[in-house]
Chains A and B, each alone.
Chain A
Amino acid sequence: MPGIELKNVTKAFGAATVIDNVSLSIRPHEFMVFLGPSGCGKSTLLRMIAGLESVDAGEIWIGDRRVDQLAPGERRVAMVFQHYALYPHMTVRENMSFGLRNVRLAEVEIVKRVASAARMLEIDHLLERKPGQISGGQRQRVAIGRAIVKEPQLFLFDEPLSNLDAALRVRTRLEIAQLHQRIEAAIVFVTHDQVEAMTLAHRIVVMNNRRIEQIGTPMEIYSRPATTFVAGFVGTPAMNFISASLVESGNGFASVCLPDGALVETHIDKASLPASQSFKLGIRAECVDICEIGQGNTAGTAHFVERLGDRTLIYVRLADGATVVAEDAGDSRVQLNDQVGIKFNGAAGHLFDDQERGHHAAQDARG
């Protein structure tokens, strides 16, 4: 099974550029996720790969075939739509056979493929029903089945989980991961949900405003975010961003001073930082601890406490009015309006310059 290559792909609607000079490669059998907020262009990019949107400039290659000028049906890709797009007047079996009939596949082969896919997805008892007679989750399986029987070189999923309720979403996520292990093709999966992206992807393409912000594995995206957008988009709760200014430090690492006077020592190489006027310190809640007042970097008032069971999120207002989210144990004793001390794990801190680029410590150092 081949890999996918996008080279300088551009799309414009009139004067508005919708996809701007995008290049990326997808390895064989890779699970690639396009992640981003609504309107960032991820669905458009997916549809351009499928052939449902035209490519104004650039090339799309699937394996050794250039496909951007081919009709959708000729690209050997299959797509699972957000609202499934099942043919309402056909039975499940007919829905799954329709594409194969159009390419004149032998009837015997069609029956075989449909039966095998139906068995894999556990929908064989639904084959004679119409889409209107089955549940939402079952419809989604049919949509997946319709894609599987084509034995495509590439699977495309367009936000397939957004129509499911929470419990079903988790279960289906698992099934899609298992599906990927059973097939040979690569998968491109579009979503706005970073949890889905983090749990399913080999690599994630984070997009914002029609541009790619970062391409990397989930852990790379999480621990070395390239921009403030990526840092704030992935991870719950969102990363803390605090204004910071560089101060003198003895070692080669950057140290910063926060508006309320707190001092934080990072492990970021000072020499690698650009000459920027202002920085932001980025640090995740799990790297911000609650401690006794006077024992940490700074202190503040807990003006909101969220108890999640396995951990407690404490929103602390600092002296200058900024809010920092700290993570404490599940049985934390902190109460609303308590005065608490804050301890930053500087080794896990990031610095974002005034171009919003992220700078990180040399190796992943926590604790």
Chain B
Amino acid sequence: MVTSVQATVATGSSRESRAKNVRGGVRGRWSNMLYVAPYLSLYVTLLIYPLFAGFWLSLHKADFFGGSRFVGLQNFVRLFHDKVFLGAVGNTFYFILLTVPALALIGLALALALNRTTRSAAVLRGVFFSSSVLSVTIVTLLWRVVFAPDNGFIANLLHHFDKPSIPFLSDENLALPAIGITTIWWCLGLPMMLFLAALQQVPRELYEAAALDNAGRWKTFWHVTRPSIRRTFALVVIIEVVLQFQLFGQAQLMTLGGPNNASRPMVLFIYEVGFNRWDVGYAVAAGQILFGLILIAALAQYLVARRKEAF
């Protein structure tokens, strides 16, 4: 049977045509938007609109009678001169320095210690993670009765050794660290779990090779484990920084931001200005600054982490 080669090299007869939807054109495509429309409508009204309305609002000042007038950047100028706000910014940064390294390092240590298949390791992991599922209001209540200077758990312990009680929450220098301890207790679970997941991705052969190379526990950690989880470490730090920038409940309930503004973080400032004093424009402006700081911090860490990997 004689056959012939039908196809030829088309020298310019092939035209570029847009792929048509098999169902026949543009109509089908628009109706597909119905799937994303419900979510998008919520997204726009409750996230996008408030964000941009906030920008606008931060340029206004609410006056006593419920109206508002355009004041340009005055709110921001006021914020830069507001000692309480600046103190809050400082407190927030200080708090992050207190908690994030501890969370990352203790989380890593726990993950290393509990990366076993034994039943006791599973139980212990469960214990360390359990605090993370509680709400902030319960956590603060628990720790207030631990910190309470007269009859708290720590006070009782100190009295047992004939030591005087420590006024954790009413001492200017101790308030924020006390909140820090509460927060570390509360948030330890997440870093631990993230590190555990990362550790389990490390190929077993690397550890076996190290064992055959007579590497001790520390050397194995430094040369095998540490490089493999570097990215996770950066991720944990970024996550925790963003999280702790948003400190609110613990400060509001345990110390009310005191004593003497020593433990007021930025979010508590925003809450008080916005919902107690109803100086809405001012509060939103502070919120913008917080948003900006979080973005910068996250971006900076991301870039640093990327650069380090380039080596």
Contact = CB atoms under 8 A, between A and B. Distances in A.
Please tell me whether chains A and B touch each other in their complex, using a CB distance cut-off of 8 A.
yes
Interface of A: 10, 12, 14-15, 17, 20-24, 51, 54, 56-57, 69-72, 211-217, 220, 226
B7 interface: yes
Contacts of B1: 216-217, 220
B22 A22 contact: no
B160 interface: no
Contacts of B7: 20-23, 211-212
A57 B16 contact: no
Given A51-B22, A69-B24, A71-B22, A214 B3 contact: yes
Contact of B16 (A15, A214, A216): A15
A72 B7 CA distance: 25
Contacts of A22: 6-7
B212 interface: no
Contacts of B5: 212-215, 226
22 contacts: A12-B14, A12-B15, A14-B16, A17-B14, A21-B7, A21-B13, A23-B6, A24-B6, A51-B22, A54-B22, A56-B15, A56-B19, A71-B22, A71-B23, A72-B22, A211-B7, A212-B6, A212-B7, A215-B5, A215-B6, A220-B1, A220-B3
Contact of B22 (A15, A69, A214): A69
Interface in B1-32: 1, 3-10, 13-17, 19-24
A10 B8 CA distance: 11
Instruction: Enumerate the 6 nearest inter-chain pairs by beta-carbon distance, A residue then B residue, closest first.
Output: A212-B7, A216-B3, A23-B6, A54-B19, A56-B17, A17-B14
A91 to B, nearest CB: 28
Q: Which of B5, B15, B23 has the most CB of A within 10 A?
A: B5
Q: Which of B1, B15, B22 has the most CB of A within 10 A?
A: B22
Contacts of A12: 14-17
Contact of A20 (B14, B16, B19, B24): B14
Contact of A21 (B4, B10, B20, B24): B10
A226 B3 CA distance: 9
A10 B10 contact: yes
Given A54-B19, A54-B20, A20 B3 contact: no
B1 to A, nearest CB: 6
B3 A215 contact: yes
B306 to A, nearest CB: 31
